[in-house]
Chain A
Amino acid sequence: MRIKVNNKETELPEASTLQQVAETLALPARGVAMAVNNRMVPRAEWPTRIICENDSLVVIKAACGG
């Protein structure tokens, strides 16, 4: 199935959880957050959150700034 990650088309296996997406993307253990369709999903819910076709993910991480 196809989803968008930070506006980029990405192919994923069916019935992936957000946790599996995080693993596929090799996200670091801290300093990241994910939102599905513009709603933040707490890390504790990643293992149970099923990602559907055409979902749009925003994945952010820490950056330098003032």
Chain B
Amino acid sequence: MDKLIIAGKEFNSRLFLGTGKFNSNDLMEKALLASGTEMVTVAMKRIDLEDKEDDMLRHIVHPHIQLLPNTSGVRNAEEAVFAAQMAREAFGTNWLKLEIHPDPRYLLPDTVETLKATEQLVKLGFVVLPYCQADPVLCKQLEEAGAATVMPLGAPIGTNRGLQTREFLQIIIEQAGIPVVVDAGIGAPSHAAEAMELGASAVLVNTAIAVAGNPVRMAVAFKNAVEAGREAYEAGLGGSTPLFEASASSPLTAFLDK
């Protein structure tokens, strides 16, 4: 399997894991290690001075794991830049999962603010991995703005509904000059394999592993699915669906060329 390279750094695993929703930090750590992941997201929260809880970082910091702090909770680009600076200080890394989703119901990313924040954060020296809509035009704009990857959604966060955006993911992957990481909505190993077969560079999984009956075994299942999907992609899938290009129904060129 080819190595994944993001911002010049090599990854042996194409499975990224989130750390939310696990029943315990111990269980989370076992699942992370079983998955073989080398990229793990973490969030930030305001300290509750009365609450002396377990240090979750202790369970995540391993030499082979790149921490990927997220900006979950911010509502716009300005807040995202502030959160990014706090994250860089707290975690000692300039890698960042940029996520701006002001609407708590669907948690869908705000396209305008995400693009604006990406432009600013790249200038500030961050390695920006934006969570974004499965919008091929936006993904090219994020790439041009200097994003290290794009992370389009398969379906809304935590829904386990799989690749509802499949047609657009195909276009994004076909056009991309940077790695495409399918994030959100991946609810089963088969979804992860499907994304990898399409040519995604990696997938980010959280809920499907964290809330599984046995998260450690599910982590292994995802590891195998991602490897199988990637292997199939690299081997060259027989009879893969050709990309359907759009066919204009309006005379675009007549308007543009006088």
Contacts and interface: CB of A to CB of B under 8 A. Distances in A.
A53 to B, nearest CB: 20
Contacts of B86: 33, 35, 40, 58, 60
Nearest to A41: B89
A64 B19 contact: yes
B55 A31 contact: yes
Contact of B57 (A6, A25, A30, A65): A30
- Majority secondary structure, B binding face: mixed
Interface residues of A, number: 24
B91 A65 contact: no
A64 B56 contact: yes
B170 interface: no
Nearest to A31: B57
B20 interface: yes
> What class of interface size applies to chain B in its complex with A?
20 to 34
Contact of B47 (A32, A35, A65): A32
Given A6-B47, A25-B49, A66-B206, A60 B42 contact: no
B43 A63 contact: yes
Given A31-B55, A40-B85, A60-B90, A66 B207 contact: yes
Given A64-B22, A66-B70, 14 more contacts: A6-B47, A8-B49, A25-B49, A28-B55, A33-B87, A38-B82, A40-B86, A42-B89, A59-B46, A60-B47, A63-B56, A64-B19, A64-B28, A65-B72
Interface of B: 18-22, 25, 28, 41-47, 49, 55-57, 70, 72, 82, 85-87, 89-92, 157-158, 204, 206-207
